[in-house]
Structure 1
Amino acid sequence: MNDILGNLQLVDASDILLHETHEDVRLASLCQSLEQDGVLRNPPIAVQTQGGQYLIIDGAHRTQAMQMLGYDKILIQVVDRNRISIGCWEHVVPLGEWWNSLREDPLFRWETELSSEQPIAEFLEADGTRRWLYPIDDVRHLMQRLALWHRVTQAYATTVTVNRQPLGWGGLPPANTVLVRFERCTLEELETVVAAGEVMPSGVTRFEIDDRLLNVCVPLQYLKEIGGSNALHQFLDDKRNKLRYYSKSVYFCE
């Protein structure tokens, strides 16, 4: 169990890759929290790419917040790519003008039955009505579909508060909201997106990660001060006798 701390690595910020966009309000809040608290509670989680860089799969906002605050090195937890699975977040979105605008978007067509064609997104309304969103043109290339995923999320993400739920959480969305569900992506597809200099929409991909390390609470001064790496190593060594492993489900309040 103690070896889990060996997965923590202090890496150059320039070697880090992000696979999704950010939410401005959430990013600003994290910057403020990091400055006030002075600790990195949960290190971002990454997988190493074939090119030797680190793709953040959990903690994109934490990573960007630290970069914005001027940290040249960031502490991350590097995990085995074979010990993760990729799902999706479902978005529960309040209805508004965005809903009418999207339904009139000339790039899409709406269907009430699922066809053999891969939809861009599925929508579940509070009364149980299901609608599938398809592109007007035949769009099969990953990067073309990516542009349409962004178009859908940008319709609502900047104007209303989105409530994320795990894929398949069950039930109908509350009144005056709609549930938006996207297709799953593979890790290889995410790497293709990043290699092309693009990113996924924020809060769409969801990773299930074995051996997630939480509540490390690393003092940020160790990441910024000259010689801080020695203090960091000593800090992590002291943590080895304070690890607890929970084999059962845990509910965490943010």
Structure 2
Amino acid sequence: MPALAVNPELPDLRIVPIEGLVFHERHDSRRIPPLLERLRQDGVLKNPPVVAPIPGSQRFVVLDGANRTVALAQMGCPHILVQVVDYQHPRLRLNVWYHLVTGISSEEFDRRVRSIPGLEVLSTHDLLAARAALARRYILAYAVRPDGMILMFRGGGDDIVRQSELLNALVDVYEGQADIYRIGTDQMEEVAPLYGEVAALVVFPHYHPSEILDLTRREARLPTGITRHVIPGRALRLHFPLDLLADTEQSLEEKNRRLQAWLKQKFVTGQVRFYEESTFLFDE
């Protein structure tokens, strides 16, 4: 049986200078230490970060894999293996995660968000109105409470950098002090029974790739983990040796030659499989 049952567009895998990668979101500092330990123990990079070229620049924006990138940088790797994608690819989707906040009371959540300087908090019971206001970017985000009250957050004017600062301030009042679950619905009645004490369900706006690139160019960052890029032809489970990435003697050109030889061997020996259908993985 051939390695690939169909003829998909093969992933663009490259080794690039790690200093040439920039972020559109903050990394999660709490996840770096265990990630570092696992990388050192395994000695391989399992799933390469996904990046897209920044127009008019030699740099790339990290779409997925900020924590892995930071961890490898802290390990002293001058280079990193990445999957380069076209941000305008018709099958690449940019979605958003919402935050279900538990472990603190709704009253405490309310008190904390109202203490953020520069953030105006409006109240309503009309979920449709909140959705429409967020779609029009009249508000930055909104939070649905278990009692049906909706807090709408406004501020920053038309300045996307200031808006991102306020969104980070919003997440900062509960991140690390409450439990956060990433979900894809704003229907409180669907998710509240599945968790413990729910404080709020925080809903963020949907972004366009041009906004992500603009944020990156202006050196602003969104809160960690609210953007979700769905990548066609995602390259996973490469298990690429870290010693080559960490090598400070070999040139970038030589490393990429070795990468291409390594990939060719994977294809020749039938170790590459393409799965077009959606799957559930139970060993992540």
Partner of residue 246, structure 1: 275
Q: How many matched pairs?
A: 251
**Higher mean C-alpha deviation, range 234-243 or range 158-167:** 158-167
Map 1:1-254 to 2 at 5 A. 1=7, 4-5=10-11, 7-50=12-55, 51-83=57-89, 84-96=92-104, 97-105=108-116, 107-112=119-124, 113=126, 114=129, 117=133, 118-127=138-147, 129-135=148-154, 139-166=157-184, 171-173=190-192, 174-177=195-198, 178-225=200-247, 226-227=249-250, 229=255, 230-240=257-267, 241-253=270-282, 254=284
Counterpart contact for 1:92–1:179, Cα < 8 Å? yes
Native 8 Å contact 2:9 2:233 kept in 1: no
1:189 positional shift: 1.1
| Per-residue Cα deviation, 1:69-126 (whole angstroms, up to 9, x for no partner) | 1000000000121222211111111142444321454632222132664222122234
**1-side partners of 2:197 and 2:235: how far apart?**
38
1:179 Cα offset (Å): 1.5
Q: 2: CA distance between counterparts of 1:161 and 1:95?
A: 6
Identity, in percent, stands at 25
Deviation (angstroms), 1:224: 2.1
Cα distance change, pair 143–247 in 1 and its aligned pair in 2 (3 A) = same
* Residue identity in the other structure for 1:244: R
Cα distance in 2 between the residues matched to 1:13 and 1:167:
35
TM-score, length of structure 1 as denominator length: 0.89
CA-atom RMSD in angstroms = 2.3
Deviation at 1:163, TM superposition (A): 1.4
* Matched letter for residue 61 of structure 1: N
**1:16 and 1:82 mapped to 2: Cα distance?**
19
Cα distance in 2 for residues equivalent to 1:141 and 1:251: 40
SS at structure 2 position matched to 1:82 = coil
- When residues 16 and 105 of structure 1 are mapped into structure 2, their CA distance, relative to the original with a 3 A threshold, is closer
CA distance in 2 between partners of 1:169 and 1:246 (Å): 32
1:130-184 C-alpha deviation (Å, 9 max, x unpaired): 513232x572221221121111111111322321123568823334222211001
Unaligned segments of structure 2, at least 5 residues: 1-6
Q: TM-score, normalised by structure 2?
A: 0.80
1:23–1:157 distance in 2 versus 1, CA, 3 Å: same
Name the aligned partner's letter for residue 259 of structure 2.
L
- 1:37 maps to a residue whose letter is D
